[in-house]
Amino acid sequence: MNFCVKCGANTVYKVPPDDNRFRRVCRLCGHIHYENPKIVCGCLVRSDDLVLLCKRGIEPRKDRWTFPAGFLEIHETTLDGAKRETAEEAHAEVEIEMLYTQFDLAYISQIYQFYLADLVGSFAPGDETLDVQLFSKNSVPWEQLAFPVIRRSLECYFSDRDSGRYKFRHFEIPERASWTTI
């Protein structure tokens, strides 16, 4: 945000009047560029006793396994976004069961929301996906998962599945180091 989105002039990083946080402010027209966290939504897709994972075809974490997920679009609900990402990345249709895990990654200003969903029909890799497979608890490539949010969600899922009680969980991750404590 070095240039104003309204007029193209240079911006300066400062606290605007009547504010208490630093913002990018246009030197010419005074437009204030507010920045807000990004939301990533996706699905933990299950099929009978198995879970669906996608092998990433793009960076970051290329060749590692993840849920079908991506950034929420403007004017889109998280549920619709989760279904859209699943259709794009795994060519899979799903029936949503419940909002299952949420991770507030404050240190990178991202919020992840994963829905628990049931696979309906077939699946196949999308453009940004190298492979899609169903895994049992024992065959999950635990050492090849793309992100901690995936590992933690899978741990919750297999634990809940064993107990027969599924419940929503919300994790607050203020610092990268906080991952070691949850």
80: tokens are: 């619709």
Closer CB to Zn ion, 6 or 14, in the complex: 6
Q: Which is nearer to Zn ion, 11 or 101 (CB)?
A: 11
Q: Considering beta carbons, is residue 26 or 117 the nearer one to Zn ion?
A: 26
- Shortest distance (Å) from residue 1 CB to Zn ion: 11
Two structure tokens written together for 22: 């630093």
Count of residues touching Zn ion (by CB under 5 A)? 8
Closest-CA residue to 135 (of 69, 42, 66, 39): 66
- By CB under 5 A, residue 5 contacts Zn ion: no
DSSP string, the chain: --B-TTT--BEEEE--TT--S-EEEETTT--EE----EEEEEEEEEETTEEEEEEE-SSSSTT-EE-SEEEPPTT--HHHHHHHHHHHHH--EEEEEEEEEEEEEGGGTEEEEEEEEEEES-----TTEEEEEEE-TTTS-GGGBS-HHHHHHHHHHHHHHHHT----EEEEE-SGGGGGG-
* Part in contact with Zn ion (CB under 5 A); list of ranges 8-16, 37-45, 93-101, 127-135: 8-16
Piece of 21-29, 76-84, 94-102, 122-130 that binds Zn ion (CB under 5 A)? 21-29
Binding mask 28-47 for Zn ion (x = CB under 5 A): xx-x----------------
State the nearest-atom distance from the C-beta of 11 to Zn ion, in Å: 8
Q: Which of 1, 2, 3, 6 binds Zn ion (CB under 5 A)?
A: 6
Q: Minimum Å distance from CB 28 to Zn ion?
A: 5
Binding site for Zn ion (CB under 5 A): 4, 6-7, 9, 26, 28-29, 31
